[in-house]
Structure 1
């Protein structure tokens, strides 16, 4: 039995260090830890996971820190569990203290992945509700405007054309048209 590890973060700005450290403490050798920096929900390329599937053999164990680090959603989690199971490979989740070893383990993982997916959905709903409420209160989202819109409008009112405005202010002509259209 060999131990393998899998770690994933959602963005390239996040760090894998905590997950990798936990995998090493669990006994996984550094050269058997596979990683991805991509969102679980995007359907993005997960080369680390694909390479892991190629490397494991019957009776190996894949260790992952948390359920949501492996599968995108319940269906994806079940598919991955079945795929690893067909290879004779078990999956252990450190933080959740569960494993796919045995029938009960597979059932528990399936139920917990459904709960995790429901929790993610609730978090998104609450975030969106908060965003809607903030917009209603006048909170502006996005980066601050860097173009002096009044200057664009004043130059146009003075008879300066869009091409000349874009050259003078070093902005795109389409930006000039957009500002004038909004005015």
Structure 2
């Protein structure tokens, strides 16, 4: 019987340290922890997860910090639970300590997975609604926000005055050099100043 751990984060910038520490503290040997950096909401290349699944044998245990680390899809989580049970492999979540060998434990697993998926869907829906509202009011969606009109106008006035060096214009108005040149291009003023 081998105790394996699985840890996953959603982006390359996130760190696995906290999950790994929790797994080691739960008695999983560091060398038996499989780690992926891939989004859970989409099917990605979970190379380490696939390796873990090939390694599992009857009597083994797979420990995760939470079920969401294994997958964030309700259907996939329930499929994994069925696969583990058919293989005789125990699945343990440190944050959701229920016995999946019981009907109640499997009920809790399904309920939790559905609730987590609903929460993610509601967040995406609210984000889409917010973007739609912003677009309908002519707002900038995504990317770097545009420099405020007052600052842009002040920078252009200083530029057209011809007396202030570009670095001083940028320092005085808080408009970056690249932004100033973009504003000048948009207003057809590039090259006006000698």
Whether the TM-score (by the shorter chain) exceeds 0.5 is yes
Deviation digits for residues 54-90 of structure 1 (CA, Å, limit 9, x no counterpart)? 1111111111111211123111111111111111001
Change (3 A) 1:139 1:85: same
1:55 aligns with 2:55: yes
Task: Trace 1:93-172 onto structure 2 (pairs within 5 A).
Answer: 93-135=93-135, 136=137, 138-143=139-144, 146=178, 148=182, 150-151=184-185, 154=188
Structure showing greater Rg: 2
Q: Distance in 2 between matches of 1:5 and 1:56?
A: 11
The alignment covers a number of residue pairs equal to 157
Q: Which runs of 5+ in 1 are unaligned?
A: 156-183
SS of match in other structure, 1:108: helix
SS of match in other structure, 2:11: coil
The alignment's C-alpha RMSD in Å is 2.5
Task: Trace 1:65-84 onto structure 2 (pairs within 5 A).
Answer: 65-84=65-84
Contact 2:3-2:61 at 8 Å conserved across structures: yes
Contact 2:134-2:140 at 8 Å conserved across structures: yes
Q: Which runs of 5+ in 2 are unaligned?
A: 147-177, 190-194
Q: Distance in 2 between matches of 1:99 and 1:3?
A: 16
Aligned counterpart, 2:150: none
Q: Distance in 1 between matches of 2:186 and 2:132?
A: 31
Q: Bigger CA drift: 106-115 or 73-82? A: 106-115
Q: Distance in 2 between matches of 1:56 and 1:99?
A: 19
Q: Bigger CA drift: 72-81 or 125-134? A: 125-134
Aligned counterpart, 1:13: 13
Aligned-residue offset at 1:103: 3.3
Deviation digits for residues 143-162 of structure 1 (CA, Å, limit 9, x no counterpart)? 3685626437849xxxxxxx
